[in-house]
A and B are shown apart, each in its own frame.
Chain A
C-alpha cells in the first residue's frame, strides 16, 4: 500500500505563543518598578499625620537623624505609652534618646532632627521630645507628615 504525500505529512509541532504573555509581564513589571518606593529601615511603620491639603515637602536631607515616636501598643492607643527610637535602632526612653542626641550633636554640630511621630500620640509626648531637641541646641526641627495626594 502506497501512501500519498498528503497522508505522510506530519503535523507541525504544537507551539505556545508566549509573546503576549511576555508583553503583559513586562508591562506589569515596569508598572510596579515605577510605583514602588523603597522605604528606609529608619522609617518605622506607623500612622503619620495626614493634614488636608498638606504643604509637607519631599526633601532629601543629608546629615540628619530621624527620631521615631511610636505607640508602645498600637491596639491600646495613646494610653499604652510612647517609646522613641533613633532610626532603625531599638526603642528607648526619652532620657536615653537625649543622651544619644547629645553625642551625635557633639560629633556632628550641624545635625538636623526629623521627628516621625504617630498621629495618635498625645501632643504632650511629642512636645517633650521637641523640648529635649531644643535643649541640645539643634537648630532645624523637621516634622514628617504625608504629602498631598497629588504629589504622592
Chain B
C-alpha cells in the first residue's frame, strides 16, 4: 500500500446532510435548552427583613439630648465667694402649688416679670437696653429648693437665649 492511499480524505458534511443522517437513524434534533439565569433573592429578603425588624423594634422617636455648658470657679471651688462687680439681675423661681406647672418668676427690683420662660428672654433683652445694664450684667438664678429641675434648666436656657454672658446660681 502506498502512502497516498493511507491518507484519509476529509469529509465535509453540510447541515442538510447531518439532518438527513439523523432522520435516517430516527434521531430527533435535540434542542439545546437554555438555562434561565436568575438570582436567588430569598436570602437577601431574609436579611432585609431581619434588619427591618431590628430597626423597627429598637427605634425610639425621641428628641436628641444636648448640653448646656458652664464654667465654674474651679481653682477655689465653692468656698470662693466671688464678689459681683455690679448690681446683678436676680431672677427668682418659686413654687406656688403642687402641680409641676405651678411656679412664679420674680425679678428683683423690676416689676412685671413674665410668668413663662418663653417670654423671659424678651423681658431680659429689654432690661439690657436700660442704662447700667447690658449682656455683661451678671444674671443670678435663685430657685427655691422644691422647684423642679425642669424649671431651673428652662430659666437657664431663657437667660442664654437673651444673650447674657454671665450666669450664676445662688442659694435661695
Is B21 part of the contact surface with A, judged by Cβ < 8 Å? no
Interface residues of A (CB under 8 A from B): 18, 21-22, 25-26, 28-29, 32-33, 35-38, 43, 48-59, 61, 78, 114, 116-127, 130-131, 133-147, 149, 151-152
15 example contacts (A-B, Cβ-Cβ < 8 A) are as follows A22-B45, A25-B45, A28-B56, A29-B51, A49-B153, A56-B157, A58-B64, A122-B147, A123-B148, A139-B72, A144-B68, A145-B68, A146-B66, A149-B63, A151-B64
CB closest residue in chain A, given B57: A32
Known contacts A22-B45, A123-B149, A134-B72; is-contact A58 B118 (Cβ 8 Å): no
Chain B residue at smallest Cβ distance from A19: B41
Which of B71, B78, B157 lies in contact with A140, CB distance below 8 A?
B71
Q: Interface of B with A (CB < 8 Å)?
A: 41, 44-45, 48-49, 51-52, 55-56, 58-59, 61-75, 77-78, 100, 116-118, 143-154, 156-158, 160-161, 169, 171
Q: Which residues of A contact B118 (CB under 8 A)?
A: 52-53
Closest residue of chain B to A113 (Cβ to Cβ) is B72
Which applies to chain B's interface (DSSP): helix, strand, loop or mixed? mixed
B117 partner residues in chain A, CB cutoff 8 A: 51-52
3 nearest A-B residue pairs (beta carbon): A56-B66, A32-B55, A119-B150
